[in-house]
């Protein structure tokens, strides 16, 4: 069996490795692309083993994992920590790392350096950054440094203060034209895929038909080439009402609460651990110990 190193892991050839090339082929075959966020080893491994095509270590981890108010506070080092953990869990999926706010907006050299850290230290295969046509030159430069880039347009959470809240974008003709320009500019810059967040279905359909790069939608309707959701959203682990586009596939909060309460009750009622859940001395040691204790008792000690 030939072993190929991928992102610091040895890929043994089992299953189908998703690549930037195979994503494009999926688009051409009209074979829907699946993507979920995952931010740690165990989740990434479960998501990967369930056959999801792309694992995104999104900066949404600022809120879902770290409890920040929005995505603006999360740092490069915090993101890297999670990318490395997810890397250890992912074998076949394409691993995408989100560039946090401030890591690519200031200086193109810093942006390339930070993108390279995600590849070199984190084992990411693609980096994602937010913004449309104004990011096209930067994206070209990162790609020139041999780093595939995913674009992200529409409702871009890192612009929350500029947008004045989390608002659906592209609802009027001016907005639609801007989104079309953004999509075409990033497609021409060579993005490996394009995330479309919070835009009307009709606009996402036009973009998907217009660009060669696969579109991955979140709150962008069913015509996108693929769909992404936040892992914590599909499992009710977000402590708030879900957005309109979220579909819940399980109640993780109820499951965890039930298990934790059951453990607490068992410990308090001495139902846990049972004798079967305890280790025992070997028979001979036990017999010897009993003899020793008996002797001590007899000697009055
Ligand atoms: O950070 C994230 O989870 C994302 C997705 C919502 C696309 O960027």
Shared domain for 147 and 18, answered yes or no, is: yes
pLDDT for the residue numbered 14? 53
**Residue-level pLDDT at 273:** 98
In angstroms, what is the C-alpha Rg of the chain? 25
Domain presence at residue 248: no
Task: Looking at the structure, tell me whether residues 209 and 296 fall in a common domain.
Answer: no
Q: Is the distance from the beta carbon of residue 151 to the nearest atom of ligand 1 less than 6 Å?
A: no
pTM over 0.75: yes
- Cβ of residue 37 lying under 6 Å from some atom of ligand 1: yes
Question: Does ligand 1 come within 6 angstroms of the Cβ of 217?
Answer: no
CA of 58 from ligand 1 middle (Å) equals 5
Do the domain assignments include residue 12? yes
Q: Do residue 8 and residue 142 come from a single domain?
A: yes
Report the pLDDT value the prediction gives residue 57, as an integer from 0 to 100: 99
Same domain, 213 and 279: no
pLDDT at 300: 84
Confirm whether 179 is domain-assigned.
yes
Tell whether 150 is covered by a domain: yes
The residue ranges of the chain whose pLDDT is under 50 are 1-13
Encode pLDDT of 92-137 as tens digits.
999 999 999 999 999 999 999 999 999 999 999 999 999 999 999 9
Q: Do 161 and 59 fall within a single domain?
A: yes
- In this prediction, residue 3 carries a pLDDT of 46
Question: 17 in a domain, yes or no?
Answer: yes
Looking at 234, 268, 290, the residue that finishes a domain is 234
pLDDT tens, 47-90? Answer: 999 999 999 999 999 999 999 999 999 999 999 999 999 999 99
Residue closest via CA to ligand 1's atom 2 equals 58
Task: Tell me: do 41 and 187 sit in the same domain.
Answer: yes
Residues 191, 269 share a domain: no
Domain of 274, in residue numbers:
256-300
Spatial separation of the C-alpha atoms in residues 210 and 228, rounded to whole Å: 20
Residues 270 and 224 in one domain: no
Report the catalytic residues: 197
> Does residue 295 lie in a domain region?
yes
Give the count of domains, the chain.
Answer: 2
CB of 100 within 6 A of ligand 1: the answer is no
* Domain termination site, one of 177, 201, 234: 234
């Amino acid at each position: 069996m030939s072993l190929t190193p991928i992102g610091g892991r040895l890929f043994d050839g089992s299953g189908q490795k998703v690549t930037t090339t195979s994503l494009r082929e999926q688009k051409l075959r009209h074979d829907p692309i699946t993507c979920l966020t995952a931010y740690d080893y165990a989740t990434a491994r479960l998501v990967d083993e369930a056959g999801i095509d792309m694992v995104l270590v999104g900066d949404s981890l600022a809120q879902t994992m770290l409890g920040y108010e929005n995505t603006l506070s999360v740092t490069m080092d915090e993101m890297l920590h999670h990318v490395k953990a997810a890397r250890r869990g992912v074998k076949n999926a394409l691993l995408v790392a989100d560039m946090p706010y401030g890591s690519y907006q200031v200086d193109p050299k810093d942006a390339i350096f930070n993108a390279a850290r995600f590849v070199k230290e984190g084992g990411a295969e693609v980096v994602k950054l937010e913004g449309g046509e104004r990011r096209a030159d930067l994206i070209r430069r990162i790609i020139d440094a041999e780093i595939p880039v995913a674009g992200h347009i529409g409702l871009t959470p890192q612009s929350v203060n500029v947008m004045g809240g989390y608002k659906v974008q592209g609802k009027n003709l001016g907005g639609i034209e801007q989104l079309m320009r953004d999509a075409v500019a990033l497609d021409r810059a060579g993005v490996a895929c394009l995330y479309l967040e919070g835009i009307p279905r009709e606009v996402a359909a036009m973009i998907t038909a217009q660009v060669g790069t696969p579109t991955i939608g979140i709150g962008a309707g069913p015509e996108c080439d693929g769909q992404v959701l936040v892992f914590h959203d599909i499992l009710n682990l977000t402590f708030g009402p879900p957005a309109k586009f979220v579909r819940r596939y399980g109640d993780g909060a109820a499951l965890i609460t039930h298990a934790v309460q059951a453990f607490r009750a068992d410990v308090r009622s001495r139902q846990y651990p049972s004798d079967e859940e305890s280790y025992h001395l070997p028979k001979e040691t036990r017999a010897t110990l009993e003899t020793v204790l008996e002797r001590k008792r007899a000697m009055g000690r």
